[in-house]
Amino acid sequence: MPKYRILVTGSSGAIGKAVAPALTAAGHYVRGFDLSKSPNIEDMHIGNLTDMQAIEKAMDSMDTLVHLGAESNDCDFMSRLLPANIVGVYNVMDSAKRCKLRRVILASSMQVYNGFWKRRKPPFKIEDGAAPSNHYGVTKIFSESMGQMYSYKFGLSVIAVRIGWFTRTPKELQEMTDSPGAQNYFFSHDDAGRFFLKAVEAEGIEYCILPAASKWNTKEVFDLEPAKKAIGYEPKDTFPEGLPFKLQNT
């Protein structure tokens, strides 16, 4: 297996902190990019996604991008989502094209399905399309479309990942514990490491959207088959396995 040189944006965030060590442990070289320093990454570029020059500098000598950096919840569009999730995606995709990266992996979200919940029964499939119910979800559709356009027009290999609920903190774990339905879109830290490693290493991908979650707790809500077929990902954890922390009161 070739060893890749991977730029991870959002490397100081919750998913970045789970994914970067998994890539390093598999022998790949990881450089981080974020607003602040990431733990355990020596080669770190501090910068803003709105700064094209800083991104291009960070991509220098890299061959793969895992783009996690973003406003990761719904928030004010003009002041927060527009710069980080729209301008930021334009900046990383256009830099990736110029730097001729071999693979770009974009963090999308299962929130692109939120508008479906009252209208149709799960499981939701990629071919169902999307129905975002907030501006954050719309920015994730934008990033998927940007990935597809840069792939078809400029030949970049792009995987857009519709991530389930990756519980960031013991507080979020408590919220998930208190709402059993939500446990069906749980994405464990260990499964995230395994998923992104497969996404980096898979061969023969032009453009695809893939779902990313752990095993179902009670009922299937997203069809994970496309991820198995395209990159060989099979979840190992069922809620609440594969987390680096436990509930606060246990």
Ligand X SMILES: NC(=O)c1ccc[n+]([C@@H]2O[C@H](COP(=O)([O-])OP(=O)(O)OC[C@H]3O[C@@H](n4cnc5c(N)ncnc54)[C@H](O)[C@@H]3O)[C@@H](O)[C@H]2O)c1
Rule CB under 6 A: which residues touch ligand X? Answer: 10, 12-16, 34-35, 48-50, 68-72, 84, 88, 107, 109, 163, 165-166, 168
What are the angstrom distances between the C-alpha of 57 and each of 51, 95, 179? 10, 9, 43
**CB nearer to ligand X: pick between 42 and 155:** 42
Q: Least distance from C-beta 2 to ligand X, angstroms?
A: 26
Q: Least distance from C-beta 79 to ligand X, angstroms?
A: 11
Q: Are 107 and 15 in contact (CB under 8 A)?
A: yes
Q: Least distance from C-beta 70 to ligand X, angstroms?
A: 3
Q: Are 174 and 150 in contact (CB under 8 A)?
A: no
**CB nearer to ligand X: pick between 72 and 184:** 72
Q: Least distance from C-beta 1 to ligand X, angstroms?
A: 25
Q: Least distance from C-beta 28 to ligand X, angstroms?
A: 19
**CB nearer to ligand X: pick between 71 and 191:** 71
**CB nearer to ligand X: pick between 34 and 201:** 34
Q: Least distance from C-beta 13 to ligand X, angstroms?
A: 2
**CB nearer to ligand X: pick between 88 and 147:** 88
Residue 77 phi, psi (nearest 5): -70, -55
How many angstroms separate the CA atoms of 172 and 92, rounded?
A: 29
Taking CB atoms, the residue at the shortest distance from ligand X is 13
